[in-house]
A and B are shown apart, each in its own frame.
Chain A
């Protein structure tokens, strides 16, 4: 664990910390003096100190392996509630979560992070507006990865799946604690490949590495993503409708016929995009309807 002051603020019993990990690795990497171990030597190597220096994050944890960054972030938020924004990153996630029973598969080289943000920092932290955080995160991810994927069609499937060339590139799961603190979990398929992925993902997912046949610097990608997230949150504070309009511009489902399951209802309609308040718009035989939740039947 590190923070802006490079000192632990509490006795969290972490097995691994970013500073501890770097120090521990020095003797193994005898070819370079400590000061000459640039992260860019290995695009997958995360420079968590640089992340702290160059972003709005106040405190960070970098774990080699975690079951779920969101679970760890929620526990850390309870242990040291005064230090936010808190970033939790894992090189490997063994039980990443999605909606319901869905799991987020994290292969070696992917980016798995969770950000804990206090209600006061987010304009959308009123409970009735908190879903906008979901769109804000999706917009931030698209704006981060799109410049690294020239020639590829990158956008959003409502509410927050980030897709490239029709395949899922990133997933987002936001959990709001009873005190309105937001835990924003983001998984991006950066430098992983689908070689070891479950069979059901082979045709539906993609990675930046597979799209470009190149490795992407994890530290730079994470720093850019955190900057885009802050910009989106700040913009939301000044102009709440902006997130919905921006997400609508990035939505790739315009005009598609979609079927949504909502409780006992199943609704089929033509997608009219995303409303300024974040709702999915479907043109159904009964007219245009707005939806704030539901699961697509594909």
Chain B
């Protein structure tokens, strides 16, 4: 990728983050890099994904990951069970901005893994240009994954939470 040093370890977290940002910037769905015996393959979203809340049977992103793309190596997440996948939906960011898990730095997060939410439950804030948008869940269920780190940028349509609608 442009700007990356061949002497760097491709599994360096900062390097992966940079790759993710480049994928978002240039709207790339997949990057496959090899360096000697090592290889990194990044996939982002899935073809034809709709903006908003949708079912996510193919989502493999682990909880508390800092980036939306799936990182298949070296930290491959545990695959979901079929039953869970069938009932999982994603809450996506409705705008570009910065993700905040809590109303202010001194407060606990709006929601955490295991919490039950309803359609009107505020799950996070997405801030852009000092406009703090309280984002409602718009779905009922249990939070099973928080997909973005507090204070990290998010893109339009990027998944921020995964919700199991069976509970």
Contact = CB atoms under 8 A, between A and B. Distances in A.
B86 interface: no
A128 interface: yes
Contacts of B127: 99, 293
A286 B127 CA distance: 25
Nearest to A135: B129
Contacts, number: 83
B129 A278 contact: yes
B106 interface: yes
Given A128-B94, A293-B97, A294-B98, A160 B130 contact: yes
Interface stretch (B76-84, B133-141, B159-167): B133-141
Contacts of B122: 178
Contacts of B17: 264
B153 A263 contact: yes
B96 interface: yes
Nearest to A127: B94
A119 B163 CA distance: 27
SS class, residues of chain A in contact with chain B: loop
A295 B3 CA distance: 24
B98 A130 contact: no
Nearest to B132: A175
Nearest to B106: A101
B130 A99 contact: yes
Given A127-B94, A173-B130, A278-B129, A263 B152 contact: yes
A263 B151 contact: yes
- Report the contact-size class of chain A (Cβ under 8 Å from the partner): 20 to 34
A134 B96 CA distance: 15
- Report the contact-size class of chain B (Cβ under 8 Å from the partner): 20 to 34
B125 to A, nearest CB: 9
A132 B130 CA distance: 10
Contacts of A173: 130, 132
A135 B133 CA distance: 15
Interface string A94-112: 0001011100000000000
Interface string B101-130: 000111000000000000010100001111
A86 B83 CA distance: 48
In the A-B complex, list the 6 residue pairs whose CB atoms are closest, starting with the nearest.
A159-B129, A131-B129, A178-B136, A263-B152, A293-B98, A127-B94
29 contacts: A97-B104, A99-B130, A100-B104, A100-B105, A101-B104, A101-B105, A127-B133, A128-B94, A128-B156, A130-B128, A131-B131, A132-B129, A134-B130, A135-B129, A159-B129, A160-B129, A160-B130, A173-B132, A174-B131, A176-B132, A176-B134, A177-B134, A178-B122, A178-B134, A262-B98, A263-B149, A263-B152, A278-B129, A294-B98
